[in-house]
Amino acid sequence: MDNLLIEDYDKTPDLSYDEIGDDHISTGLETPMKANAFEMSDDEKKEKITDLFKGIMDVLGLDLSDDSLKGTPKRVAKMYVEEIFSGLNPENKPKISLFENKYRYNQMLVEKDITFYSNCEHHFVPIIGKAHIAYVSSGKVIGLSKLNRIVQYYAKRPQVQERLTNQIAEDLKLILDTEDIAVIVDAKHLCVSSRGVKDNTSTTITSYYSGIFQDSNKVTEFQNYINK
Active-site entry in 24, 47, 123, 179:
123
Is 82 an active-site residue? no
Is 123 an active-site residue? yes
Is 120 an active-site residue? yes
Active-site entry in 122, 132, 152, 159:
122
Contact 191, 120 (CB under 8 A): yes
Is 191 an active-site residue? yes
Taking CA atoms, 89 is separated from 31, 80, 85, 156, 192, in Å, by: 11, 12, 8, 10, 28
Is 91 an active-site residue? no
Amino acid, single-letter form, for residue 15: L
Please tell me the distance from the alpha carbon of residue 176 to that of residue 155, in angstroms, as a whole number: 20
Active-site entry in 111, 152, 162, 189:
189
Active-site entry in 152, 159, 161, 167:
161
Q: Which residues, at least 6 apart from 50, have a Cβ–Cβ distance to it below 8 Å?
A: 73, 74, 76, 77
Is 132 an active-site residue? no
Active-site entry in 121, 159, 162, 167:
121
Contact 179, 210 (CB under 8 A): yes
Please tell me the distance from the alpha carbon of residue 132 to that of residue 119, in angstroms, as a whole number: 19
Q: Where in the sequence numbering do the catalytic residues fall?
A: 120-123, 161, 189, 191
